[in-house]
Amino acid sequence: MAEVSLAIGGRSYVITCRDGDEARLQHLASLIDAKTQDARRAVPGLTEVRQLLFAALFLADELNDIRTGAIPAAPPAPDPRLADALESLADRMESLVSRLAAVPENA
């Protein structure tokens, strides 16, 4: 088991998770933290518990909108391997074009 430190609402929380889940949990914590900041800006003076409550409500509202189709889900993030494969393919095509350009027309 791994431990990960999550920063939410100006506090740090250390939790135990499965090995390899650390980055995902940190990403999720950053989403929650952003919503606590939204709550703090919208209603100054909220206690920490109320900030977390509003963050949960904001996230639940977004999830509900996505599930009911009120707003479309964000498209999946592009796979970096695809960009590498396209780059490699472009290099190969440029190489073929260069080789073909070097061949005399009568050949």
Structural domain span for residue 15: 2-78
CB within 8 Å of 35: residues ≥ 6 apart: 54, 55, 56, 58, 59
- Confidence band, pLDDT 50/70/90 cuts, at residue 6: very high
pLDDT at residue 4, as a whole number? 96
The pLDDT of residue 107:
58
User: Considering the entire predicted model, what is its pTM?
Assistant: 0.63
Number of domains the chain contains: 1
Model confidence pLDDT, tens digit, residues 36-79 = 999 999 888 889 999 999 999 999 999 998 888 887 767 777 77
Phi/psi at 6 (nearest 5 deg)? -115, 130
Yes or no: say if 71 and 61 are a contact pair by the CB < 8 Å rule: no
Q: Determine, yes or no, domain membership for 106.
A: no
Domain-embedded: residue 90: no
pLDDT band at 26 (very low <50, low <70, confident <90, very high): very high
